[in-house]
Amino acid sequence: MSLVDAGAASGHSAKLSAVTTSKFGKVLSDGNTVYTLKASSIPCTKKCRKVWPPVVLPNGMKHLAAGHGVLASKLGSKKVRGVGRQATYGGKLLFWYFRDTHPGQVNGAFTDKWGKWSPVVLSKSSSSGSGATSTTGSSAGSGGVSF
């Protein structure tokens, strides 16, 4: 599935933007929240990709466009066997979670047999009590990965 195909079916676009959430602050989104994976010893293959579809670029694209709140210099892609050219942010592969159905939803911040899934946090919420830290490049207390 490419972003073009996915866009027609589910509202995904070839541009990543910041979306504000109450729990994580501003997270990366292309219509739905985008996640990274800190992999376990079990690889994310066909069954995993049904739950965690990779963000795949349309043929000929090397990276997605940077929308509001996104650093274009951090966008890229990597050729992944069996997937195609998968989008990256800060060098980390990007995925969607199948249970996120609209912008701002973050249902995929948890650990499963494939590893630890985290939304890409662009900036923390200023409200207290979120449990998140603002250490760049590390896992946040609420499960997000800051960039």
What pLDDT does 10 receive? 41
Is the overall model pTM greater than 0.85, yes or no? no
Q: What is the 3-state secondary structure (H, E, C) of the chain?
A: CCHHHHHHHHCCCCEEEEEEECCCEEEEECCCECEEEEECCCCCCHHHHHHCCECECCCCCCCCEECCCCCHHHEEEEEECCCEEEEEECCEECECCCCCCCCCCCCCCCEECCEEEEEEEEECCCCCCCCCCCCCCCECCCCCEEC
What pLDDT does 9 receive? 40
What pLDDT does 132 receive? 35
Tell me the pLDDT of the chain (147 aa) as tens digits: 334 334 334 445 689 999 999 999 999 999 899 999 999 999 999 999 999 999 999 888 888 999 999 999 999 999 999 999 999 999 999 999 999 998 889 999 999 999 999 999 998 866 544 333 332 333 344 456 655
